[in-house]
Structure 1
Amino acid sequence: MILVNTDFISGKKLETISIVKGSTIRSKNVGKDIMSGLKTLVGGEITAYVEMMNEARAIATKRMVEEAEELNADAIINIRYATSAIMASAAEVIVYGTAVKFVD
């Protein structure tokens, strides 16, 4: 599966199938959340949250690809990510794009 954030793939003629998406809502456990809270006192990168968001993006992307595969897509174009806070220490990541087939 080819994944791009452009509206074309060089050298390929595309036929649009459908919008596809994937999402997940993630949170850290209380212990990591407390440690991350303490990190805000001294500043710097909060690696527990970086890891959480990287994992969330990977899960959301996997779910989007699975949806495109069910439609027999060859690629997903115009991929975009969005994140929103659901509650304290929990975030949603959604990824969406356009599933396409290659046309000969």
Structure 2
Amino acid sequence: MIYSTTESIAGREIAEIVGVVTGNVVQSKHVGRDIMAGLKSLIGGEIRGYTEMLNEARDLAMQRLAESALEKGADAVVGVRFTTSAIMDGSSEIMVFGTAVKLR
């Protein structure tokens, strides 16, 4: 599966647009990470626990995007974008979306 944030794949021609595909994850905070984040906020710097959590959530969202594209018979996903939103206090959603296409 090829992914691109651009609207085309270099050196390839889009034969067919299959449709919009998405992948999302709603991730909640972990109490241990919250405690460490609170302490880290006093001295500043990166909160690695949250960085790791968001990286894992982003990877899972991409996996779900790929599964959705494969189910539609796509070879690639173009125009890939990420978005985040707060769902409720202590949790957020990471969504990835794009256009599934078949290549020549």
Answer whether TM exceeds 0.5 for this pair.
yes
- Count of aligned pairs: 103
What is the correspondence of 1:24-63 to structure 2 with a 5 Å cutoff?
Answer: 24-63=25-64
Q: TM-score under structure 1 normalisation? A: 0.94
Task: Identify the residue that residue 102 of structure 2 maps to in structure 1.
Answer: 101
Task: Identify the residue that residue 70 of structure 1 maps to in structure 2.
Answer: 71
Task: Identify the residue that residue 4 of structure 2 maps to in structure 1.
Answer: 4
Q: TM-score under structure 2 normalisation? A: 0.94
- What are the superposed Cα offsets for residues 22-81 of structure 1, whole Å, 9 maximum, x if unpaired? 000112321221111111111100001000110010000000100000011000000000
For 2:44 and 2:79, locate their aligned partners in 1 and report how far apart those are by CA, in whole Å.
Answer: 35
* Unaligned ranges ≥5, structure 1: none
Q: CA RMSD in A?
A: 1.0
> How far 1:102 moved relative to its partner?
1.0
3-state secondary structure, aligned to 2:7: coil
- Percent identity at matched positions? 50
3-state secondary structure, aligned to 1:56: helix
For 2:28 and 2:53, locate their aligned partners in 1 and report how far apart those are by CA, in whole Å.
Answer: 7
3-state secondary structure, aligned to 1:12: coil
* Unaligned ranges ≥5, structure 2: none
Deviates more, 1:47-56 or 1:27-36: 27-36
Supply the AA of the counterpart residue of 1:79.
Answer: V
- Point out 4+ residue stretches in structure 1 off by more than 6 angstroms: none
> How far 1:88 moved relative to its partner?
3.0
